[in-house]
Each structure stands twice: as C-alpha cells, then as structure tokens.
Amino acid sequence: MKWLKEKGYGGAFIWALDFDDFTGKSCGKGPYPLLNAISSELEGESENPEITTEEPSITETEAYDTDETEGWLIVRRIKMLDHYLFISYAFYLEYDVV
C-alpha cells in the first residue's frame, strides 16, 4: 500500500476475492480481512491540491521577403506562431499599361 501511495494511485484492485475470508473464521480478524486491511491502509485525508493554470504565452514572429524575376514580383511571407511555421507566397506579373 505504501508503494501505491508514493506513486499517487487512487486505489487498489484485487483480482481474486476468493482469497479473502468472507466468514471471518480463519484468521479471527472478522469478515473480509484482506479488503479491510487494504481499505484502512488507503484511508486518510484526501489530498486535493488547488490546481492553477496560466494563460499560455503566444510568441508571434513575422517577416516579408520580395524577389523580382523576369517581370514577376514574388512576395514571401513567413510567420512563426508558437510552434507553427506558416509560409505564403504571392506572385505578381509586372507589365506596362500603354
């Protein structure tokens, strides 16, 4: 039972209840001595620590880059939002209006 408490488990499971003394005649400790021993060992004050959470911080980084190739203007936008990377491209064809 000590190991269960140290690991923070909330209880114990007994697979074979037929090993317990249902009548209480075998060991002189009353009916269900195995279940009672486990129950009394695990009983105690309930520990319910107060749970606090913090707002997650969001880190945002953004950068633009342009390139001009054979009459095309290429705009690249790179945005980092926490652990996600977004890359977008825009292509513009430059021409003269006559």
pLDDT at 24: 77
Q: Are 21 and 32 in contact (CB under 8 A)?
A: yes
Task: Determine the pLDDT at residue 96.
Answer: 67
Question: Is the pTM above the cut of 0.85?
Answer: no
Q: Which one-letter amino acid corresponds to residue 13?
A: F
How does pLDDT run along the chain (98 residues), one tens digit per residue? 778 878 887 777 777 767 777 787 777 778 888 888 888 877 765 566 677 788 877 778 888 888 887 778 888 888 888 778 888 888 877 666 66
